[in-house]
Chains A and B, each alone.
Chain A
Amino acid sequence: MDAVVLSRIQFGLTSSFHYIYPPLSIGLGLMLVFFEGMYMKTKDPLYKQIAKFWIKIFGLTFALGVATGLVQLFGFGTNWARYSRFVGDVFGSALGAEGVFAFFLEAGFIGIMLFGWEKVTPRIHYLSTILVALGSHFSAVWIVVANSWMQTPAGYKIVGEGKEAKAIVTDFWQMVFNPSSMDRLTHVILGCWLSGIFLVLSVSAYYMLKKRHLAFSKACIKAGLIAASVVLVLQLISADSTARGVSVNQPIKLAALEGIYETVPYTPISVVGWVDTKTETVTGLKIPALLSFLVNRNFETPVRGLNEFPKDEWPNVPVVYQTYHLMIAMWGAMVGSVLLGLYFWRRKKLDSAKWTLRALVASVLFPAIANQVGWFTAEMGRQPWVVYKLLRTKDGVSPMIQGSQVFSSITMLVCIYTLLFTLFIYLLNYKIKHGPEENDSDSDQKTQYRNPYEGK
């Protein structure tokens, strides 16, 4: 296999693996600000116990996020040297801002957040938690802005020709607020929040199922269910806006995601299906005219099909079709588990609703899968371009690296990442089994052996 294909595999692999952790950190960051804020407000030791527990989990996801993030930073230069030279001027300022504004904030104050309980006042500790959460959000901002520029370049000019060609920024703010950046940023951040929220839900549901740490799990599930309901609705609005942006800025991508080969009026939307590339058809469940309505706000106007575009600019339709629909299905799964949870919660029977609790335990996977396949959709949907309409992926690779070199590094990285993931799961499991520190909270001990819904 040649260096281009292998480099793509490597970048996809390292990105996917990296992207297990930052969404958890960002989402947990949000929940930590809430939980520790509740502690500051109510002084209820239960909330301190909750904050302390999730901060430990945060420490774990953060460490792995940094370690795997380094590979990402170097990955542009090692395998995509020509791409790096092409986008350096644009990407550079975003990366610079990310480093200075985001990473230092996060990496600096996480020391106080993790180790500073006894060293600083509660107020300063809370401030550190807020700053860490802010830092993790900032780091998403700049990288998504840079990636959005690759989807919808703006505020630049091309200088030089052939191998020498590169993009030069002409208007910084146009580059930052390129047509897709705000939609995509919102979509990504909400996706991250869901990751963190569902981790909280999943672990708490597990405790409730095992009848352990009931005060802890009750408080966490309540916060989690409410947060999840709000964010899932917001995500729906963001998804609509993002998809309509794609229909304007990258019509080929939308056509590929929905598997629309021919432009037809009353364009249907696919729910599930199978793409046949030979006959160029999609078989499966479709809702007539809905895509036309979602994109154009009327049922008749067609959505442009792939037949309107040159075939050498098509992405891999069957793959992006499936990843895109899987992402949406995962949203549905999240909505389903939250609705079930809310239903039993309202009826005060959640602790005996075994199957709902089990669904909630499993629900941690839904946003994780959605985030992964969502990025696959975004990145593979942009192919064959690495920078949309400006630079083809095959022209972005480092010219001198050998397939064998990339093969070795993939092998090495796969081994390391397998080890890392095993350790991550092992330690996560260890921490969860160990549970929150009981001696920190009086309220928990009191409520431990009685039904949390009784009394009061």
Chain B
Amino acid sequence: MDEFFLEHLWYFVIGFCAVSYVVLDGFDLGVGMLNIFNKKDEERRLFLNAIGPVWDGNEVWLVVFGGALFAGFPGAYATILSSFYNLVMLFVAALIFRAVAIEFRSKHPSKSWRSTWDYVFAVASLGIAFGAGLILGNLIQGIPLNGDGDFTGASSLFFTPYPILIGFLVVALFLMHGCIYLVMKTEGELHDRLRVWSRRSMLLFFFVYFVATSATLIYMPFMAEKIREFPWIGLLGLFAFAFFFSIPKLFSKGRDGTAFIFSCLGIGSLFGLFGIGTYPVLVRSTVDPETNNLTIMNVASSFLTLKVLLIIVIIGIPMVLGYGFYIYRVFKGKVKIGPSSY
């Protein structure tokens, strides 16, 4: 086991955390955005309780992703967070408001209290999704860094067309993913309505996905470099398409659970493409990219730390996945409002 191997393994681990976060919290955020389209309190409560017991655990993947980045690639962690200072602060504010909205909504029966928190929930979810996409888009596009890995631009720089497009892509993705999750968790009239919603959100997603892919190929040609070199990587893109396209068919067969898993796999494939496309760069510099890019090699922690981290992950992750699956099994099936619900 050498340094090269550990660095790459850690890149994979971080990617795994990121995908887990997006797949899991993605549907929470989708549900948050969709929630205000419900008219009845009963339906809103059903939506909320569909994610009620799990959203907190899902958000932990973000914490672990941040921790893993700090642990394995402290230079990238420091650069990303200090460069996107203002965005990160707003992102954090949105995360807080989301958590608070979920917790506080049900504590009071008054209508205005509830609908206020529902709007907070929706706006915060939208903000988190869009903000994550915006940061992602900027990381693909690159930001000006000096030789110390410090950001030398202004925050207004982050609002250029490509990152904004990626922001919309993430929003559309989460809307679709949330719909698909809710189809699995609901029944009756609401279930039928959600199937219509998920079809519409899929159309929206495919449209934005098409635009974003074209923009990436035209304006960010380096993202496709590896595919030209190793065409089999392009299969990931095809997989993503195949997963997403088979969802309507699965719905008509009533296999809602499989549809949700396919949506997760589709997202995973998209992220795989992103991870391979940007490899080995973690933060791309628009100034002197040859020397100023932060790559997994030049910002990695020491060999010993990576080894310790690996041991932690080998012991910890199977446990996490084990009880994660257990908890999802306990709360499996259609949501019902019970005495301990939100």
Q: B82 touches which one: A79, A88, A119 (CB < 8 A)? A: A79
- Please count how many residues in chain B sit with their CB below 8 Å of the partner chain's CB atoms: 68
B313 touches A430 (CB 8 A): no
A425 at the interface (CB under 8 A from B): no
CB-CB under 8 A from A332, the residues of chain B are none
The complex places the Cα of A98 from the Cα of B316 at a distance, in Å, of 10
CB-CB under 8 A from A87, the residues of chain B are 74
Query: A99: shortest Cβ distance to chain B, in Å?
Result: 4
The complex places the Cα of A116 from the Cα of B152 at a distance, in Å, of 50
CB-CB under 8 A from B152, the residues of chain A are 400
B67 touches A85 (CB 8 A): no
Within 8 A of B (CB), among A85-123: 85, 87-93, 95-101, 103-105, 107-112, 114-120
CB-CB under 8 A from B317, the residues of chain A are 100
Query: B47: shortest Cβ distance to chain A, in Å?
Result: 15
A172 at the interface (CB under 8 A from B): yes
Q: B63 touches which one: A69, A82, A166 (CB < 8 A)? A: A69
B70 at the interface (CB under 8 A from A): yes
Say which one of B83-91, B175-183, B184-192, B276-284 lies at the interface with A: B83-91
B215 at the interface (CB under 8 A from A): no
B103 at the interface (CB under 8 A from A): yes
A116 touches B330 (CB 8 A): yes
Q: A104 touches which one: B71, B77, B324 (CB < 8 A)? A: B324
Contact mask for chain B residues 141-170; partner A; CB cutoff 8 A; 1 contact, 0 none = 000000011111001000000000000000
A172 touches B308 (CB 8 A): yes
A393 at the interface (CB under 8 A from B): no
CB-CB under 8 A from B80, the residues of chain A are 77
Say which one of A59-67, A243-251, A350-358 lies at the interface with B: A59-67
Contact mask for chain A residues 375-387; partner B; CB cutoff 8 A; 1 contact, 0 none = 0000000000000
CB-CB under 8 A from B67, the residues of chain A are 73, 92, 95-96, 98-99
Known interface pairs A96-B309, A420-B96. Does A107 touch B59 (Cβ–Cβ under 8 Å)? Answer: yes
B305 touches A423 (CB 8 A): no
A401 at the interface (CB under 8 A from B): yes
B308 touches A71 (CB 8 A): no
The complex places the Cα of A251 from the Cα of B338 at a distance, in Å, of 58
B68 touches A99 (CB 8 A): yes
CB-CB under 8 A from B235, the residues of chain A are none
B92 at the interface (CB under 8 A from A): yes
B77 touches A89 (CB 8 A): no
Within 8 A of B (CB), among A48-77: 59-60, 62-64, 66-71, 73-74, 76-77
B63 touches A96 (CB 8 A): no
A73 touches B78 (CB 8 A): no
B131 at the interface (CB under 8 A from A): no
Known interface pairs A93-B312, A111-B331, A412-B93. Does A78 touch B85 (Cβ–Cβ under 8 Å)? Answer: yes
The complex places the Cα of A91 from the Cα of B72 at a distance, in Å, of 10
Contact mask for chain B residues 91-119; partner A; CB cutoff 8 A; 1 contact, 0 none = 01101110110111001100000000000
B233 at the interface (CB under 8 A from A): no
Q: B96 touches which one: A110, A111, A172, A416 (CB < 8 A)? A: A416
Query: B124: shortest Cβ distance to chain A, in Å?
Result: 11
Query: B334: shortest Cβ distance to chain A, in Å?
Result: 13
B103 touches A60 (CB 8 A): yes
Known: A68-B96, A78-B89, A112-B330. 20 other contacts (CB 8 A): A63-B102, A70-B92, A77-B77, A77-B81, A88-B71, A88-B301, A89-B302, A89-B305, A92-B70, A92-B74, A96-B67, A100-B313, A101-B312, A109-B327, A111-B327, A115-B53, A170-B304, A408-B86, A420-B96, A427-B107
Ranked 6 nearest A-B pairs via Cβ: A88-B74, A77-B81, A92-B71, A100-B316, A111-B53, A81-B78
B residues sitting closer than 8 Å to A (CB atoms) are: 52-54, 56-57, 59-60, 62-64, 66-68, 70-72, 74-75, 77-83, 85-86, 88-89, 92-93, 95-97, 99-100, 102-104, 107-108, 148-152, 155, 301-302, 304-305, 308-309, 312-313, 316-317, 319-320, 323-324, 327, 330-331, 338-341
Q: What are 15 A-B pairs with beta-carbon distances under 8 A? A: A60-B103, A63-B102, A70-B62, A71-B92, A73-B63, A91-B70, A95-B67, A96-B72, A104-B320, A107-B57, A112-B330, A115-B338, A399-B150, A409-B85, A413-B89
A residues sitting closer than 8 Å to B (CB atoms) are: 59-60, 62-64, 66-71, 73-74, 76-79, 81-82, 84-85, 87-93, 95-101, 103-105, 107-112, 114-120, 163, 166, 168-170, 172, 398-401, 405, 408-409, 412-413, 416, 420, 423, 427, 430
